[in-house]
Structure 1
Amino acid sequence: MLTIYGVYRSRASRNYWMAGELGLAFVSVPVIQARRLDDPAAADAPQNTLSPDFLAVNPTGLVPCIDDGGFVMSESLAINLYLARKHGGPLSGRTLTEEAEMLQWTTWAATEVEPHAVKIILTLDAHAAASEQGKLTIRAATKALKKAFALLDRRLAATGHVVSDRFTVADLNLAEVFRYTMSQTELFDAAPNVRAWLAACQARPAFKAMMEARLQEPE
Structure 2
Amino acid sequence: MLKIYGVYRSRASRVYWMAEELGIPFEYIPVLQSHRLADPAAAGAPLNTRSPEFLAINPMALIPSIKDGDLVMHESLAITEYLAKKHGGPLAPKTPEEDALINMWTIWAASEVEVQTIQLVKTYDNALEKTEGGKSVIAVASRQLKRPLDVLEQHLAGREWIAADRFTAADLNVAEVLRYAQSEQALFDARPNIDAWIKRCQSRPAYLKMQAGRTNEPV
> What's the TM-score, normalizing by structure 2?
0.99
Structure 2: distance between partners of 1:14 and 1:207: 9
Aligned to 2:134: 134
Matched pairs, number: 219
Segments of structure 1 that go 5 or more residues without pairing to the other structure are: none
Residue 166 of structure 2: SS of its match in structure 1?
Answer: coil
Alignment deviations for residues 2-52 of structure 1 (CA, whole Å, 9 cap, x no partner)? 000000001000000000000000001000000111110011211000000
Aligned to 1:203: 203
Structure 2: distance between partners of 1:42 and 1:158: 55
Residue 4 of structure 2: SS of its match in structure 1?
Answer: strand
Residue 174 of structure 1: SS of its match in structure 2?
Answer: helix
Alignment deviations for residues 84-132 of structure 1 (CA, whole Å, 9 cap, x no partner)? 1111111010000100110000000001000000000000000000000
Aligned to 1:186: 186
Shift of 1:185: 1.3
> What's the TM-score, normalizing by structure 1?
0.99
Aligned to 2:48: 48
What is the one-letter code of the residue matched to 2:80?
A: N
Matches within 5 A, 1:50-199: 50-199=50-199
Structure 2: distance between partners of 1:206 and 1:44: 34
Residue 181 of structure 1: SS of its match in structure 2?
Answer: coil
Aligned to 2:11: 11
What is the one-letter code of the residue matched to 2:22?
A: L
Shift of 1:158: 2.1
Aligned to 1:214: 214
What is the one-letter code of the residue matched to 1:178?
A: L
What is the one-letter code of the residue matched to 2:187?
A: L
Alignment deviations for residues 36-87 of structure 1 (CA, whole Å, 9 cap, x no partner)? 1111001121100000000011111110000001100000000001111111
What is the one-letter code of the residue matched to 1:41?
A: A
Structure 1: distance between partners of 2:78 and 2:180: 18
After TM superposition, the runs of 4+ consecutive aligned structure 1 residues lying more than 2 A away are: none
